[in-house]
A = this chain, B = another copy of it.
């Protein structure tokens, strides 16, 4: 997608120069998402440890992008040591860096299954190729998600004949993927198809990915949007000001439970409850099929919820009135904070899962091609 009128992906590689004959050595570059929306900055990632740090500190975030980043993490590891033992260790460390993201485990496992059968000497080159393939596949998946989601939006638009208001939570836009996004892919597709869409962007405390990332990328693409506090979503749905909800997901269970950024469950409850005030707000999660964890049936019981550092809530970054960046602590001294990063929306509240294969009701998910 475009940044300052220039085409970008969220992650790419470049050759390491001045390394003698080892011309296959590469570094990874990413858009540093911890700096957005205030500063657009590229971070260079030269080894496995730096990639783990980039994932943990959320310089890269969003389930599909984390998967791509982890694949590149394995590729970087092969440059350090291509032996089985080190790659197994690298895989383990990468998987531990964000426990909730199923794409991460999926892509690391895929990298190992490609690399371990190969002679050690062939692994570096193969690793870079496979990681690049994972990225290209992500883009194709997202474009297909966009097309299927566009059908849903178009159907609503044909019925309503005026602005379609879509509420989203967190950032499942192109910044969360390699390109195009998951939850936002249908929105970009609709906007580009000339459908009048407007996006309610939930701020998404504590890390504000909605207010900072989603608002920023929609703005860069020219999609009309309005930021709201996370608290406002229920009121807007109750008042008939939302036509549909589309979120991403870090994991979807085989039964259609949706594990996504903390607060998603509350939006799903409000969408479900909107029928009580005479509205019908469908609730969709948009995910590529690798996000579906076929091993889990009951998400509420069996998905481990990552508890992140309370400082994420306590400290807020932004621009001072003079434009310089600053970070402030908003809490009374010594206040205890709990920071569960995800929640699980039970399938009974989910209208459908938008995937690259089409839109599935939760109880039809198992009919998907795996």
Contacts and interface: CB of A to CB of B under 8 A. Distances in A.
Interface of A: 37-38, 200, 203-206, 208, 211-212, 215-216, 219, 225-236, 238-239, 261-263, 265-267, 269-270, 273, 276-277, 300, 305, 310, 313, 315-321, 325-332, 334-340, 342-344, 346, 348
A37 B219 contact: no
A216 B235 CA distance: 28
A318 B340 contact: no
A208 B226 CA distance: 20
Given A219-B334, A320-B328, A340 B235 contact: yes
B331 A263 contact: no
A157 to B, nearest CB: 21
Given A219-B334, A226-B338, 8 more contacts: A203-B206, A205-B230, A229-B262, A230-B230, A234-B269, A238-B300, A318-B329, A325-B328
A265 B236 contact: no
Contacts of A226: 336-338
A318 B321 contact: no
A211 B97 CA distance: 29
Contacts of A263: 229-232, 234
Contacts of A229: 205-206, 230, 262-263, 313, 339
A1 B315 CA distance: 28
A321 B317 contact: no
Nearest to A332: B37
Contacts of A336: 225-227
A337 to B, nearest CB: 5
Chain B CB within 10 Å, residue with most, of A238, A310, A327, A331: A331
A126 B318 CA distance: 49
A331 B212 contact: yes
Nearest to A264: B231
Contacts of A331: 37, 211-212, 215, 227, 318
Q: Which 10 A-B pairs have the closest CB atoms?
A: A231-B263, A318-B328, A37-B332, A235-B343, A269-B269, A318-B330, A205-B229, A266-B266, A234-B266, A231-B262
Given A205-B230, A266-B269, A337-B226, A211 B316 contact: no
Nearest to A202: B231
B319 A262 contact: no
A204 to B, nearest CB: 7
Contact of A277 (B230, B238, B300, B321): B300
